Structure 1
Amino acid sequence: MNGFEKFIDFCETHPEVRPYPKTKHISVDKIHCMTVRGQYFETLHSDEGKSLRILAPRLVEGPVELFNFSEGKSVPPVLPIAAIASMGAASTVILLGINYTSNHWYLRRNGKLIEVKRSKFTEQVAAYLQDAPDLAQKVEARAQGYRYQDMPQIITEYNLLLSAR
């Protein structure tokens, strides 16, 4: 699951049972946590207690928890002005965007939540894992399997190291 932002749509009864129920909406701020098909979700809050308005799945449980929120985005294609001009004024131009997923990683230890920024991943995560120097060094070196997209494996490995102590 990608998580939920701002609102969740739901039905009070099974959505395929007649008469079909009306879809209702609830703010994620009204939900502390939920489990759907075995996946745990929690509404994330800043250290000041302010809601981030994100209900995110917890991907790793342990001394350090890892949450992820993925949002679908689209980038419109770029067409040179000459290409658009050559289509003529009477032409209908349909531009389809290039779809991609933007991941947001959140780490929580001892109740303190931080968002791992893609642009600062190496520095941020290496510092976060400083009590596991070998693991921090792999992240800093950008070793295969220790990059931004490998967060679940990195945090799982970190938690295993902590529990082995």
Structure 2
Amino acid sequence: MFALRFSFSRLLLAALLAAIAARPAHAQKPVRVATRVDSLRAARNAPIVFVPVVFTMVSGKQVRGYVTGYDLFTHDKVMCYELPPNQLPPPPIKEMAVERIKTMVVEGHTLDALSKNGKPLGMLAENMTPAGASKTYGYSITKANMYIPIPLVYGYALIPLGSHDKYFWYVQPAGGPIQEVPRSGKAFAALMATAFADYPELAARVRQQAQDAGYKNMPQLVQEYNAHFAAAK
């Protein structure tokens, strides 16, 4: 009888141990991975950064609006809102043609509509030499250095490999018409020496076609011109 009980106990213990062994170990709760829904929800709930803008139209009318971003030069059109874009439901975004605008004022910057010989250039740009008698406007276009072809099932795609900014400049000497700044040495020197005439030392370097006073140096020349007038105050 004792042997029977002992055998039964051993069987019971073995069954209990087998049941414990069969139970899955307590696994650590996996880290939750963000889903596309989470990303969309975060984007939807993210605060919208915007700034007020005041347009003076060609007609003379002033129009107030809001932009979520801007450059100090703008081509063709401006995307803006009539109401703050953080409202619910969000207001529709509006497209305003540059040809309708005379000036655009945003965060202390005034962008002028440029025209040459009475013809609009389809561009808003800030005068980068406000302290001097001449006005200098600049803009850049980002261009790819080269493209590499990537074969596809049908045809191929061109992928840009690196990029650079190509700068363009307009200048309006005091009392004169606006002109595109030429890239060639002599023409550049003649025009910009006149534009920088109220800073004789800089004008002389430009006229002499100094190595550091050519077309490629325009950003530095503009900075030097402005620094000269700032120091004179």
Q: Normalising by structure 2, report the TM-score.
A: 0.54
Q: Tell me the equivalent position of 1:64.
A: 134
Cα distance in 2, alignment partners of residues 25 and 103 from structure 1: 26
Cα distance in 1, alignment partners of residues 213 and 191 from structure 2: 17
Per-residue CA distance 1:134-157 (angstroms, 9 max, x = gap): 323312343547732323235436
Cα distance in 2, alignment partners of residues 13 and 67 from structure 1: 30
SS of structure 2 residue aligned to 1:112: coil
For residue 191 of structure 2, what is the amino acid of its counterpart? Q
Q: Tell me the equivalent position of 1:13.
A: 83
SS of structure 1 residue aligned to 2:89: coil
Q: Tell me the equivalent position of 2:122.
A: 53
Q: Tell me the equivalent position of 1:25.
A: 95
Q: 1:20 to 1:112 in 2, by over 3 A?
A: same
Figure out how many residues of one structure are paired with residues of the other and give that number. 153
Matches within 5 A, 1:2-151: 2-46=72-116, 48-61=117-130, 62-77=132-147, 95-108=159-172, 109-120=174-185, 121-126=188-193, 128-129=195-196, 134-139=201-206, 140-144=208-212, 147-151=217-221
RMSD over aligned Cα, in angstroms? Answer: 3.2
Q: Offset of 1:50 from its aligned partner?
A: 0.6
Q: 1:15 to 1:73 in 2, by over 3 A?
A: farther
Q: Normalising by structure 1, report the TM-score.
A: 0.73
For residue 70 of structure 1, what is the amino acid of its counterpart? S
Higher radius of gyration, 1 or 2: 2
Q: Offset of 1:122 from its aligned partner?
A: 3.6
Per-residue CA distance 1:77-114 (angstroms, 9 max, x = gap): 468xxxx9xx9x99x77622322222222211225111
Cα distance in 1, alignment partners of residues 192 and 161 from structure 2: 32
Cα distance in 1, alignment partners of residues 133 and 194 from structure 2: 16
Q: Is the 8 A contact 1:59 1:152 kept in 2?
A: yes
Q: Offset of 1:130 from its aligned partner?
A: 5.7
Q: Offset of 1:132 from its aligned partner?
A: 5.6
Percent identity (aligned)? 23
Q: 1:149 to 1:118 in 2, by over 3 A?
A: farther
Q: Is the 8 A contact 1:73 1:102 kept in 2?
A: yes
Q: Is the 8 A contact 2:199 2:225 kept in 1?
A: no
Q: Is the 8 A contact 2:142 2:165 kept in 1?
A: yes
Q: Is the 8 A contact 1:66 1:155 kept in 2?
A: no
